[in-house]
Structure 1
């Protein structure tokens, strides 16, 4: 069984109870201990803890509760009013004021992060748009899952084109993150969308992608050209029988075929090529390899955010093992299950982005699917 993922919302709910618990503990300890003992930290800490996790109103109430508790102990306590009790009250008052300031700073930061994330999401969807839920005879589903909550822009990509030569699929991963990787993603996808419509041979299509990456590297003047590359898998599903697919793998994790009536298996090519941007270093053959793709089968293409996901022991996630002997009504159900499995396996912590693309042949009983 996979470990249960963390639930930050539930943890945060418990954390919000700590300030009240500290105030109650301070009052109780003050009532049962000798008068010379003070518990100032138990009244100072609650506003500090409340500031980053509560609303402004919650922080105000926490500060007032701490002030009221310290005032009760100071003015209606067991002995006459002492300088120490006055100092405690003033300390709580000062810290409560600082807590309100901290709360406002945290709130403004959260607003900025939310705005930045919204912009990043718009940019990501503009560069890597969702494919249609159907291409030719194939049902299609795609998913992009960022590793970090506040960082959506990355170097993972996918694309689907219904061309005169069949449905062509692309999944890739540009080395690096940020705007530089996003620019390279835009170049690769732009070239793929145009070349997939006109290049009859899959190998020629990959050559066009390689040329585009090399041109972009020269334009940018990369310090070390060998440090800029993109792994990719390019697949073509012909329109007419026999039911098969053709594939070229450019240094990318192998796709996973789920036949439905047989164990899931990786489509390993016998002649893997170097990634885009490095193909000139090897003997580029440009010859795709053919695999059966029967009706009822599903094909999963993914980036290394899936295959390199690890559990607490450092063991890599195996999508074939996780999805084997499972039945999915459409590609969307497959991706729902896969994302859920990866998050359970890693405890909700992703080390890299995941770009997922799944396709299956449409049948009379399953004519369409919806993307999310």
Structure 2
């Protein structure tokens, strides 16, 4: 089945293919108007627009050809009407030639800008692969899928994080959202994931993992100055699926509640007691509450960041997965996340204001 994003990509490619004909069309229209109208009418605007349009849309060779074509067409029409020898004709031809030369310079500047952009994209991809783990498709009876979508076009990573680790205490997961953007947020993602990977292997309880994350993020916040020293927190959910028993343990630290999906129903798992985000525990009680909920075969746990629930349509209505997913069944976590991204894209018209991380885990029967 063809997805809406694939359809939009095909439309964009078709538009670009038609736009590539624009420089030639400008030359043809300019020459036609110049030839068929009064000798005192000049199509100089068309002749200068053609190479500049080629500079923005086409290759260096096409830009040079458009500039040569513009100069030849203008010179031919000036000769036809007998203006090639007077000062006005020479000035017009010089202007067309100058703009054509500038178009070549503009084309090179655009090319070098594209080269830098491609380099930045490759660096972003390398950074993503270094920080955000490549998750296995399954661990025992658990099937796993993840999606990450940045709010910034062409960016590959932002302030959202996720992780899944097979440990002696079961499969442990984390999803989180760092307050803030930019390189500072990426640094916090690195600290949080490093602390999670170490603590998940060593701590016998999920609360112990949360305490280790809290200390690591608090140390990172203490190194900062200004508002980030106080406001450098992370909302997140920690999940643990023990090797035995059809249950899962959850700790929610100020994050959107996960969803449990089974038999076409979607139930938000609200924390039994609200808790402050990670790195702000000193402002609240020291005890970390762990909730235990059923996780039978056939159920799917959906963890997500607030980029999903903050997606709005044109009327300003927020996307609510708890009301959009009931009544639908999915063969696995991959299909669930693909359908979810398609649905939220349709709801928001493709406009996103925040990064979005989605993590789905299905327990097979």
TM-score when normalising by structure 2: 0.90
Does residue 93 in structure 1 map to residue 87 in structure 2? Answer: no
Aligned to 2:261: 258
Aligned to 1:366: none
Q: Which runs of 5+ in 1 are unaligned?
A: 364-372
Does residue 229 in structure 1 map to residue 251 in structure 2? Answer: no
Provide the rounded CA distance (Å) in 2 between the counterparts of 1:201 and 1:125: 29
Q: Which runs of 5+ in 2 are unaligned?
A: none
Does residue 73 in structure 1 map to residue 86 in structure 2? Answer: no
Q: How far has the Cα of 1:72 moved from its partner?
A: 2.1
Q: How far has the Cα of 1:189 moved from its partner?
A: 0.9
Does residue 246 in structure 1 map to residue 258 in structure 2? Answer: no
Report 1:1-372 matches (<5 A). 7-77=11-81, 82-221=86-225, 223-241=227-245, 243-259=246-262, 261-363=263-365
* CA-based RMSD: 2.3
Secondary structure at 2:223's aligned position in 1? helix
Q: How far has the Cα of 1:78 moved from its partner?
A: 7.5
Instruction: Confirm or deny: 8 A CA contact 2:223 2:229 kept in the other structure.
Output: no
Provide the rounded CA distance (Å) in 1 between the counterparts of 2:268 and 2:89: 72
Aligned length: 360
Instruction: Mark the CA change 1:73 to 1:238 in structure 2 (over 3 Å): closer, same or farther.
Output: same
Q: How far has the Cα of 1:319 moved from its partner?
A: 2.6
Provide the rounded CA distance (Å) in 2 between the counterparts of 1:324 and 1:275: 29
Q: How far has the Cα of 1:81 moved from its partner?
A: 5.3
Q: How far has the Cα of 1:351 moved from its partner?
A: 2.0
What are the Cα deviations for residues 195-227 of structure 1, in whole angstroms up to 9, with x where unaligned? Answer: 112222222221111111111112344555222
Instruction: Mark the CA change 1:315 to 1:222 in structure 2 (over 3 Å): closer, same or farther.
Output: same
Secondary structure at 2:265's aligned position in 1? coil
Secondary structure at 1:171's aligned position in 2? strand
Report which stretch shifted further, 101-110 or 66-75: 66-75
Instruction: Confirm or deny: 8 A CA contact 1:305 1:353 kept in the other structure.
Output: yes
Provide the rounded CA distance (Å) in 1 between the counterparts of 2:151 and 2:85: 56
Q: Which has the higher contact order (CA 8 A, sep 6+)?
A: 1
Instruction: Confirm or deny: 8 A CA contact 2:264 2:328 kept in the other structure.
Output: no
Provide the rounded CA distance (Å) in 2 between the counterparts of 1:143 and 1:130: 11
Instruction: Confirm or deny: 8 A CA contact 1:5 1:348 kept in the other structure.
Output: no
Provide the rounded CA distance (Å) in 1 between the counterparts of 2:355 and 2:349: 15
Provide the rounded CA distance (Å) in 2 between the counterparts of 1:169 and 1:152: 21
Report which stretch shifted further, 28-37 or 105-114: 28-37
Q: How far has the Cα of 1:88 moved from its partner?
A: 2.4
Instruction: Confirm or deny: 8 A CA contact 2:67 2:100 kept in the other structure.
Output: yes
Instruction: Mark the CA change 1:53 to 1:164 in structure 2 (over 3 Å): closer, same or farther.
Output: same
